[in-house]
């Protein structure tokens, strides 16, 4: 250590330079540290999606996007729910036993394939080659459908048909039912898609 006293202007210059260096290093570190966080796009791609279904009337369907996939939310009428049990003999996997851990959470392994019988939540992608089926919700004869059609979905690519629980009919190209994504109710009218465990 020198016994020579430091010039006051030199001391001010050293302090100012040091402070500027610390501030500059801080600004340089922020983008570096932020690069470890997932991007907004990545968060949106995997983040749960909250949906208000309070205004969805019986017989109506809403579509939301989750992980880049269309997720259908259908509020079924009482008559539509009652018809589901009558279709078991025509379906390839009526109780969702195929690939249950991959396609159907435990709480949806029932005839309605849902937590609440009146609300269906499924990924709108055919299990055959990934086309998106079209709505054929009205019962009755229609082109490309049987005369005793009870309502459901028709894949326009190869003709696979699904009932109003997303279950595939027998002898169709689609090997499996439509996927039920993880979901849970936050309230009677708020649905969270992409998460089914309360923290």
Taking the C-alpha atoms of residue 199 and residue 181, their distance in angstroms, rounded to an integer, is 18
Question: Could you tell me how far CA 48 lies from the centroid of its own chain?
Answer: 7
Active site residue 158: yes
Contacts 24+ apart (CB under 8 A), 99-104: 99/176, 102/179, 103/127, 103/176, 103/177, 103/178, 103/179, 103/180, 104/177, 104/179, 104/180
Taking the C-alpha atoms of residue 14 and residue 7, their distance in angstroms, rounded to an integer, is 11
- CA-closest candidate to residue 48, choices 25, 21, 71: 71
Selecting among 43, 78, 86, 158, the annotated active-site residue is 158
* DSSP notation for 45-107: HHS-EEEE-TTPPTT-EEEEEETTEEEEEEE--HHHHHHHGGGGGGBSSTT--SSHHHH--GG
What is the token pair recorded at 1?
């250590």
Residue 184 phi/psi, 5-degree rounding, is: -155, 160
Residues with a known catalytic role: 158
């Amino acid at each position: 250590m020198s016994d020579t006293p430091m010039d006051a202007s030199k001391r001010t210059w050293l302090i100012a330079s040091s402070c500027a260096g610390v501030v500059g290093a801080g600004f340089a570190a922020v983008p570096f540290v932020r690069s470890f966080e997932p991007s907004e796009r990545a968060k949106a791609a995997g983040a749960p999606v909250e949906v208000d279904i309070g205004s969805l009337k019986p017989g109506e369907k809403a579509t939301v996007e989750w992980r880049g996939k269309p997720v259908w939310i259908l509020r079924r009428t009482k008559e539509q729910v009652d018809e589901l049990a009558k279709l078991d003999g025509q379906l390839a996997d009526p109780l969702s036993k195929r690939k249950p851990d991959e396609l159907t959470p435990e709480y949806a392994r029932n005839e309605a394939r849902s937590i609440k019988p009146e609300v269906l939540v499924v990924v709108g992608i055919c299990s055959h080659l990934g086309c998106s089926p079209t709505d054929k919700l009205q019962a009755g004869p229609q082109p490309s459908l049987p005369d005793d059609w009870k309502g459901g979905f028709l894949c326009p690519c190869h003709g696979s048909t699904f009932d109003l629980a997303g279950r595939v009919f027998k002898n169709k190209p689609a090997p499996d039912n439509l996927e039920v994504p993880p979901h849970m109710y936050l309230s009677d009218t708020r649905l969270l898609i992409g998460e089914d465990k309360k923290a």
